[in-house]
Amino acid sequence: MTEDPKGKIIICRCNDVTLKEIEDLIEGGITDIEEIKRLTRIGMGPCQGRTCIPLVISIIARKAGKKPGEIPVPATRVPVRPVMMGVLAGEMGDDDEE
């Protein structure tokens, strides 16, 4: 038995999500990009979906027989509380103040 080559095609480099994983979810009836995002963490890595979200939209559109423009872009969410840029950059701790 040979390995499915779709299992080696990476769609989300930040979270190592493959084409096979995305297609398996769609074939299982999950075509909502928000649900796919929650299940696979696409769009939640350092690139914030700049690479994977357009790819996943294209895959959903192809599999569902729709145009990519018909697939809604997932919602972006801000942090629950304000976070200082130094914390995000790793230059200071959560409790430090400058």
Does residue 95 sit within a domain? no
Tens digits of per-residue pLDDT, 19-63?
999 999 999 999 999 999 999 999 988 888 999 999 999 999 999
Does residue 84 sit within a domain? yes
Does residue 9 sit within a domain? yes
Range of the domain at 15: 5-89
Taking phi first (over 0 means left), then psi (-120 to 50 degrees means alpha), and beta for anything else, what does residue 33 get? Answer: alpha
Residues in the chain: 98
Distance CA(30)–CA(79), nearest Å, equals 27
Does residue 98 sit within a domain? no
The verdict on pTM exceeding 0.75 is no
Tens digits of per-residue pLDDT, 58-97?
999 999 999 999 999 888 777 677 778 888 787 766 565 5
Structure confidence at residue 2 as a pLDDT band (50, 70, 90): low
CATH number at residue 53: 1.10.10.1100
User: Does pLDDT of 98 surpass 60?
Assistant: no
